[in-house]
Chains A and B, each alone.
Chain A
Amino acid sequence: MSAVVEIKDLHVTFATDADPVTAVDGVSLQVQPGEVLAIVGESGSGKTVTAKTILRLLPETATVDGAVLLAGNDVVTLGPTQMRRVRGRDVAMVFQEPSAALNPVFPIGWQIAEGLRAHGTVSKQEARRRAIEVLGRVGIPDPEIRVDHYPHQFSGGQKQRIVIAMALVLGPKVIVADEPTTALDVTVQAEILDLLRLVRDEFGSSIVLITHNMGVVADLADRVAVMYRGKLVEQASASELFARPQHPYTQALLAAVPRLQAHSSEPDGGAAVSSSADGPEVAAVVTAEDLEVVYPGRFGRSGFRAVNGVSLRIGPGEVVGLVGESGSGKTTIGRTIAGLTPATGGSLQVLGHEMVGFRERAFRPLRARIGFVFQDPATSFNPLLTIGDCVAEPLVVHGRFPDVHAARVRVHELLDAVHLPTAYAARYPHELSGGQRQRASLARALALDPELLIADEPTSALDVSVQAKVLEVFAELQQRLGFATLFISHDLAVVAMVADRVGVLHRGELVELGTAAQVLGAPTHPYTQRLLASVPVPDPVAQRERRLALAALRA
C-alpha cells in the first residue's frame, strides 16, 4: 500500500526579530493508511510545525522547503484554492484546546455542517443528518437533541469529541491531532484515546498524533517518530521503541518519564519522615479542620464551593502531595494556605495563625516563613527585573538586607543551591529556559529559609527531562533544609516521586489520604482507583493490560 502522507526532506525556517530560526531541519516521514504515527519531542523540537505543514497551517513568517505529498498532491506548492479543497477532505486537524477550537456563538451542528458546506452544496436536512450521525459515532449521547446545543453546554471531554467529529465528517484520509489530550484530565484523556483508537479502526483514517506524553504514545501509537531540535532522531514501531530505544536522546527521554510508584523513603531520610509519624506533640505547620472555601457567586446566586470539609495536617519537614483533576480544589487549598484566597469556613491554622477571617496586616510577618512556587515559570517573574533582583526581593522586603546590592552574596548562594550559574543573576527572566526559571523560582521561594513551601503544579508547564531536573533539585533541597511542603499536582507519578503522604481531592473533598505507597499501591476509594488506572504508562505492553483493567473498572 502506498503512504497517505509522505514528507520528503522538509525544512521550515521562521523569520524572527533576530536571526532566522530553523524549526524543522531535513525531516522525512511516511504515514501508512490506517496507522497511528506519533511524533514526540519536547517543546521547540519542531513536532507541531512538521505536522502543521501537512495542512500548511503556518504563519506568514515561515519559509517551507521540501515536499509534502498528500494523496498525490504536493501541499507545499498548491495554490490557495486547491489547498482549501484538500483541507478537510484529505486531511483534518484536531486541536489541543477544544474550548478554543469551537466557536461559542454557533450550535455545534452548524459548525460540523460548515465543513460539509465548504466542500460542495449540501441541503440543510442532509447536513443535519450527517452531523447527527457523526456525533453519535463519536459518542455524544442523544445526538438528535445535542446537535442544536452550543459549545458551553458540553464538558471538556465532550467538546474534544465534537472537534473530532468535525474532523471526521468529511472522511479524511489523515487526521492531524496536535496534543489532543493535553488540556484534559487523565480520566477524560483515557476516553478520548479510546475514541481515537475507534476512529482508526472504524473510519480507517490515519492519525498523526503529536504529543509530549510518552504514556499517550504507548497507549495509542503504532509507530513513533522522535524529534529533537528540528531533526528526526529515531523512528520505530511503538513496541520496538519503548523496549529498545536506539538514540541516546530517546533513551534519556524515556528515562526521564516519572513512573507510577512511591519513592522509597530511606530510613536515613531523617526528620522528614519520622516527624510525620510522631503525632501531635510536634506543632504542625498546617492544620486544616473541615476547611471550606466558597467563592462568592454572582448577584443573587449562591457561591461556588471549591473546597468542602477538608481536614489535613502537614507536620514539620513533611512533604504532602495533593492530587486531583481540574476543579478539584487543590490549587484553592494551596492559595488559601498562602493567604491569597480567603478561607470561609472550618478552621485553618498556618504556622499557628488562624486563616479564617485573617487580616493581611497581621499575617504579613508570617509570610517570611512561607514560600510559594507558581505553576507557570514564564509569568511568575517580573519581566523587567533581573533574576537576581527577583530572588533578592523577599530578602529586601523583609528587611534582611537594605537593598538588592547588599543581598548579592546571598542571592548567589541561593542560585548555587538550585544549580544555576551565579552569572544568571544579571539575566532577565525571558533569557532563561522554563526549567531554569522554575529553579530560580524555587530559589526565590527558599530565600528566607521558610518552614513551609507551597508548590502549585511546579512542573506541569515543563518538558519531562526538565521536570526531572527540577524535581531532583527540589528533593535535594528538601532533604538538606527540611522544610515542610505542600506539593500540588495533577500528575500522580510526579507526586509519587516527591511526597511522603498523598491526598486525593475530588470535587472539593478529600477522598483519600495516606502514605504515598498506600495511596498509589492499594487505593481504597473508587475514585482513586479509577484515577490511577487512567494514567497511561510508557510501556505499550503494560498499557494494554491497564486499558483492559480500566474498562473492567468502568463497567
Chain B
Amino acid sequence: MSEETPAPSDLVEETVVVHGTSTEPRWKKLPLVWQLRRSVGLQRGMLVAGLVLCVLFLLLAVFAPLITPYSYNELSGPDGNFPRQAPPSAEHIWGTTVGGYDVFSRVIWGARTALLVVVVAIVASLFLGVLLGLVSGYLGGWLDRVLVTIADAIYAFPSLLLAIVLSIMISGGQSSFLGGILAAGLSITVVFVPQYFRVVRAETVRLKAEPFVESARVIGTSTPRILGRHVLRNATRSLPLILTLNASEAILTLAGLGFLGFGINPTAAAEWGYDLNRAIADVASGIWWTGVFPGAAIVLLVMGVTLVGESLNDLSDPRLRIRRRARTAPPPTPAEPVAEGAPR
C-alpha cells in the first residue's frame, strides 16, 4: 500500500482525538485535581465533603493561635484561674475541663497535633515502605524472603500494643511536644510500613514482568535506573489511596495512645485522646462538653479523610466510577476514536 492511498485505519490514526494529557497543563493531572474533575454525582459529593472537612481542619491547625482565645496549656486568664468543669459560657464557649483547660482552645490546638503526627507517620512509613518494597520486589531472592517474613511478623502483633511499646521505647514515657509527636508518629510508622511495603512490592513484582520493564532491560538499563525511572512511578499509583485510608487510621491510633496515657503531656500539646480520657468521669455526672467536642473532632476528621479515601478508591476503578450518562442522541462527533472506551 503506497503513501498516496492511505489505508482506512490511517484516517483514524491521524484524526485521533485525545481527551488526553500531553496537551493539558500539569496541575490538572495532579492526584486529587484529576479525580475531582472526573467525578460526578454521589462520588463527587463524597469527595467534596471529605475535602471540605480536611481543608477545614487544616486551616484550624494552621491558624490555631489566631482562632483560639487561650493557649492549649493556659490555666488562668487576667481575672485569675479558670473555673473547673464550667459549662459553656461567654468566656469559655465550650466550657472548661476537670483540669481547668478551655475545651474550645484545646480542641482547635488538637487539630495541629493530630495533623503533625499524621504527616510524620505517613512521610516516614511512605519512604521506608516504598524503598523496601521496590528493592525487595525487584531483586527478589533471599532479601525478599527475609523482608516479607519480617513484615508478616509485624502484622501478627496487635498494632496498638506495638505502638505503645515503641512510644515507651522512644520517649521513655516522658514527652515534650516534639518528642511526643515523633514518638507517636514513629510508633504508627512501624505499624504502617508493612502495608506500604506489601503494596509496592506486589506492584513491583507485577511490573517486573511488564514488557516496558523488559524492554528497558533489553536496552541495557542499569537496575537503579530501571527502578527509579520505570518501576517507581508506575508502582505508586495506588499510594494516594492507601495514604488517605492510613491517615485516618493514624489519627485513631494517636487518639488511642493518648486515651491510654501514652500520648503527649497536656502541658506539651493539646491531644484529643488525652482529653477524652480525662472526660470519662465527667460523663456520669452530666458534664457533656468535655467529652463531646474532642470526640466530635476525632469523628469529623477521620470521616473527612475516609470520605476522600473511599471516593478516590471508587474513582480509580473504572468499573466503580460513575459517569455522566450519554444522551440518547449525542451530537455527531466525526473525529471520535471509537476504539477508546468501547469495551472489548
- Does residue A504 face the partner (Cβ distance < 8 Å to B)? no
Task: Assess the A393–B328 pair: CB atoms within 8 A.
Answer: no
A249 surroundings in chain B (CB, below 8 A): 8
Task: Assess the B9–A42 pair: CB atoms within 8 A.
Answer: yes
A472 surroundings in chain B (CB, below 8 A): 1
CA distance A15 to B325 in the complex (A): 6
Residues from 408 to 454 in A contacting B, C-beta threshold 8 Å: 426-428, 430-433, 435-436, 441, 444
Residues from 306 to 344 in B contacting A, C-beta threshold 8 Å: 321, 323-330, 333, 336-344
- Does residue A45 face the partner (Cβ distance < 8 Å to B)? yes
Select from chain A the residue with minimum beta-carbon distance to B233. A384
Q: Of the candidates A372, A376, A427, which one forms a contact with B22 in the assembled complex, judged by CB atoms under 8 Å apart? A: A427
Task: Assess the A18–B19 pair: CB atoms within 8 A.
Answer: yes
Task: Assess the A397–B7 pair: CB atoms within 8 A.
Answer: no
- Does residue B174 face the partner (Cβ distance < 8 Å to A)? no
Task: Assess the B22–A428 pair: CB atoms within 8 A.
Answer: yes
Task: Assess the A13–B330 pair: CB atoms within 8 A.
Answer: yes
- Does residue A151 face the partner (Cβ distance < 8 Å to B)? no
- Does residue B285 face the partner (Cβ distance < 8 Å to A)? no
CA distance A35 to B270 in the complex (A): 80
CA distance A472 to B2 in the complex (A): 9
CA distance A441 to B212 in the complex (A): 10
- Does residue B74 face the partner (Cβ distance < 8 Å to A)? no
Indicate whether A365 sits within 8 Å of B7 (C-beta atoms), given known contacts A49-B342, A59-B343, A469-B1: no
- Does residue B52 face the partner (Cβ distance < 8 Å to A)? no
A19 surroundings in chain B (CB, below 8 A): 19, 330, 333, 336
CA distance A3 to B325 in the complex (A): 33
Closest beta carbon of chain B to A171's beta carbon, Å: 29
Task: Assess the A252–B8 pair: CB atoms within 8 A.
Answer: yes
Q: Of the candidates B225, B328, B344, which one forms a contact with A63 in the assembled complex, judged by CB atoms under 8 Å apart? A: B328
Closest beta carbon of chain A to B75's beta carbon, Å: 55
Residues from 89 to 129 in A contacting B, C-beta threshold 8 Å: none
CA distance A252 to B2 in the complex (A): 11
Task: Assess the B21–A21 pair: CB atoms within 8 A.
Answer: no
- Does residue B81 face the partner (Cβ distance < 8 Å to A)? no
Closest beta carbon of chain B to A464's beta carbon, Å: 9
- Does residue B84 face the partner (Cβ distance < 8 Å to A)? no
- Does residue A463 face the partner (Cβ distance < 8 Å to B)? yes
- Does residue A253 face the partner (Cβ distance < 8 Å to B)? yes
- Does residue B89 face the partner (Cβ distance < 8 Å to A)? no
- Does residue B145 face the partner (Cβ distance < 8 Å to A)? no
Closest beta carbon of chain B to A229's beta carbon, Å: 5
CA distance A252 to B20 in the complex (A): 30
Indicate whether A431 sits within 8 Å of B220 (C-beta atoms), given known contacts A14-B342, A20-B330, A230-B338: no
Residue tally, chain B, CB below 8 Å to A: 51
Closest beta carbon of chain B to A450's beta carbon, Å: 10
Task: Assess the A22–B330 pair: CB atoms within 8 A.
Answer: yes
B18 surroundings in chain A (CB, below 8 A): 427, 431
Task: Assess the B233–A465 pair: CB atoms within 8 A.
Answer: no
- Does residue A153 face the partner (Cβ distance < 8 Å to B)? no
Task: Assess the A433–B336 pair: CB atoms within 8 A.
Answer: no
- Does residue A40 face the partner (Cβ distance < 8 Å to B)? no
Closest beta carbon of chain A to B47's beta carbon, Å: 15
CA distance A168 to B219 in the complex (A): 50
- Does residue B12 face the partner (Cβ distance < 8 Å to A)? yes
Task: Assess the A431–B21 pair: CB atoms within 8 A.
Answer: yes
Closest beta carbon of chain A to B50's beta carbon, Å: 21
Q: Of the candidates A23, A63, A371, A379, which one forms a contact with B212 in the assembled complex, judged by CB atoms under 8 Å apart? A: A379
Task: Assess the B341–A372 pair: CB atoms within 8 A.
Answer: no
B234 surroundings in chain A (CB, below 8 A): 382-384
Task: Assess the B327–A433 pair: CB atoms within 8 A.
Answer: no
Q: Of the candidates A46, A256, A428, which one forms a contact with B7 in the assembled complex, judged by CB atoms under 8 Å apart? A: A256
Closest beta carbon of chain B to A47's beta carbon, Å: 11
CA distance A13 to B338 in the complex (A): 10
B219 surroundings in chain A (CB, below 8 A): 367, 393-394, 397-398, 444
CA distance A342 to B23 in the complex (A): 43
Chain B 200-220, CB within 8 Å of chain A: the 1/0 string?
Answer: 000000000011101111111
A469 surroundings in chain B (CB, below 8 A): 1, 7, 9-10
Indicate whether A436 sits within 8 Å of B218 (C-beta atoms), given known contacts A13-B328, A252-B7: no
- Does residue A386 face the partner (Cβ distance < 8 Å to B)? yes
- Does residue B238 face the partner (Cβ distance < 8 Å to A)? no
Residues from 88 to 113 in B contacting A, C-beta threshold 8 Å: none
Task: Assess the A46–B22 pair: CB atoms within 8 A.
Answer: no
Q: Of the candidates A15, A385, A428, which one forms a contact with B20 in the assembled complex, judged by CB atoms under 8 Å apart? A: A428
A371 surroundings in chain B (CB, below 8 A): 218
B21 surroundings in chain A (CB, below 8 A): 428, 431
Task: Assess the B337–A367 pair: CB atoms within 8 A.
Answer: no
Select from chain B the residue with minimum beta-carbon distance to A447. B219
- Does residue B28 face the partner (Cβ distance < 8 Å to A)? no
Task: Assess the A17–B38 pair: CB atoms within 8 A.
Answer: yes
Task: Assess the A15–B326 pair: CB atoms within 8 A.
Answer: yes
- Does residue A543 face the partner (Cβ distance < 8 Å to B)? no
Q: Counting chain A CB atoms within 10 Å of each CB, which of B9, B217, B220, B327 scores highest?
A: B9
Residues from 3 to 19 in B contacting A, C-beta threshold 8 Å: 5, 7-10, 12-13, 16, 18-19
Task: Assess the B214–A374 pair: CB atoms within 8 A.
Answer: yes
Task: Assess the A63–B325 pair: CB atoms within 8 A.
Answer: yes
CA distance A231 to B339 in the complex (A): 13
CA distance A16 to B214 in the complex (A): 32
Closest beta carbon of chain B to A463's beta carbon, Å: 6
Select from chain A the residue with minimum beta-carbon distance to B230. A382
- Does residue A340 face the partner (Cβ distance < 8 Å to B)? yes
- Does residue A43 face the partner (Cβ distance < 8 Å to B)? yes
- Does residue A495 face the partner (Cβ distance < 8 Å to B)? no
CA distance A20 to B342 in the complex (A): 10
- Does residue B267 face the partner (Cβ distance < 8 Å to A)? no
Select from chain A the residue with minimum beta-carbon distance to B221. A397
Task: Assess the A379–B210 pair: CB atoms within 8 A.
Answer: yes
CA distance A376 to B212 in the complex (A): 10
- Does residue A255 face the partner (Cβ distance < 8 Å to B)? yes
CA distance A99 to B36 in the complex (A): 39
- Does residue A534 face the partner (Cβ distance < 8 Å to B)? no
10 sampled A-B residue pairs with Cβ under 8 A? A16-B341, A17-B321, A20-B327, A21-B338, A229-B12, A255-B1, A374-B215, A393-B219, A397-B221, A463-B9
Identify the 3 closest CB pairs spanning chains A and B, nearest first: A44-B339, A367-B220, A18-B19
A45-B338, A252-B1 provided; 5 other pairs, C-beta below 8 A? A20-B326, A21-B340, A43-B344, A376-B211, A382-B212
